[in-house]
Structure 1
Amino acid sequence: MDTGSHLLFGATLAGLAMLSPTVANDPQLAHAVLAATMIGSHAPDFDTIARVKGYAAYIRVHRGLTHSVPALFLWPLALSFTLSYAFAVSDHWVLLYGWSLAAVVFHVFLDACNAYGVQCLRPFNKRWHHWDILSLFDPFLFAIHAAGLVVWLNSGWNPGWMFAGVYGITFVYIAIRALYQRRVVSRVRRELSMEGICHVVPSLHWFRWQFVMETDGYFYTGTVRGKLVQVQDVYAKDEGNSIIQATLATDGVRAFLQFAQRIHVICKEQGDGFEVQWRDVRFWYNHQLPFGVDVKLDRELNVVSASLGWRKRAWDPPFV
Structure 2
Amino acid sequence: MDTASHLLFGVTLAGAACLHPQIAEHPQLFGAVLAATLIGSHAPDFDTVTRLRSYAAYLRHHRGLTHAVPAWFIWPLVIALPLSSLFHVWESWPIVALWTFIAVMFHVGLDWLNAYGVQAALPFTSKWLHKDVLCLFDPVLFGIHMAVLSSWLWLDRQGASSLFAAAYALTFLYILWRWGTCSRVLQQLRMQFPGALHHQLIPDLSLCRWQYVVETEDCYSTGWVIQASPLSMCTPLRFDFHARYEKSFSLNPIIERTLATDGVRAFHGFAERVVVHAQQWKDGYKVVWNDVRFWHRRGLPFGVEVELDEQLNVVKTKLGWSKKGWEPPYV
Instruction: State the TM bucket, normalised to the shorter chain.
Output: over 0.9
Letter aligned with residue 191 of structure 1: Q
Q: Flag structure 1 segments of 5+ consecutive residues without an equivalent.
A: none
Task: Quote the offset at 1:315 in angstroms.
Answer: 1.3
Asked if 1:233 corresponds to 2:249, the answer is: no
CA-CA distance at 1:154 after TM superposition: 2.6
Give the SS at the match of 1:224.
strand
C-alpha contact 1:238 1:266 (8 A) present in aligned 2: no
How far apart, in 1, do the equivalents of 2:129 and 2:35 lie?
A: 29
Q: What is the TM-score when the length of structure 2 is the normalising length?
A: 0.95
- Residue of structure 1 equivalent to 2:202: 201
Partner of 1:107: 107
1:130-176: per-residue Cα shift (whole Å, max 9, x none)?
Answer: 00000000011001111110012332352222122111111111111
Q: CA deviation at 1:297?
A: 1.2
Deviation digits for residues 188-243 of structure 1 (CA, Å, limit 9, x no counterpart): 22223332111111111011110111111100000011110111000001322221
> Partner of 1:293 in structure 2?
304
Q: Which residue of 2 aligns with 1:318?
A: 329
Contact 1:238 1:265 (C-alpha < 8 Å) held by counterparts: no
Q: Kindly tell me: are residues 6 and 152 of structure 1, through their superposed partners in 2, closer, same or farther at Cα, counting changes over 3 Å? A: same
CA distance, structure 2, for counterparts of residue 89 and residue 66 of structure 1: 27
CA distance in 2, matches of 1:155, 1:163: 12
- Equivalent residue letter for 1:186: Q
TM-score (norm 1): 0.98
| Aligned-pair CA distance for 1:29 | 0.4
Letter in 1 for 2:27: P
Match of 2:136 in 1: 136
Tell me which residue corresponds to 2:220: 219
Per the alignment, residue 188 of structure 1 pairs with: 189
User: Is 2:276–2:290's contact at 8 Å kept on the other side of the alignment?
Assistant: yes
Q: Which residue of 2 aligns with 1:22?
A: 22
| Structure 2: gaps spanning 5 or more residues | 228-236
- How far, CA to CA, are the matches of 1:306 and 1:261 in structure 2? 20
Residues in 2 aligned to 1:146 and 1:270: alpha-carbon distance in whole angstroms: 50
Aligned partner letter, 1:155: L
Q: Which residue of 1 aligns with 2:46?
A: 46
Instruction: For 1:87, give the aligned amino acid.
Output: F
Query: Could you say which residue in structure 2 is the equivalent of 1:281?
Result: 292
- The yes-or-no answer on 1:169 pairing with 2:179 is no
1:271 CA drift (Å)? 4.1
Q: Is the 8 A contact 1:233 1:287 kept in 2?
A: no
Name the count of aligned residue pairs. 320
SS of the equivalent of 1:238 reads coil
Which residue of 1 is the match for residue 230 of structure 2?
A: none
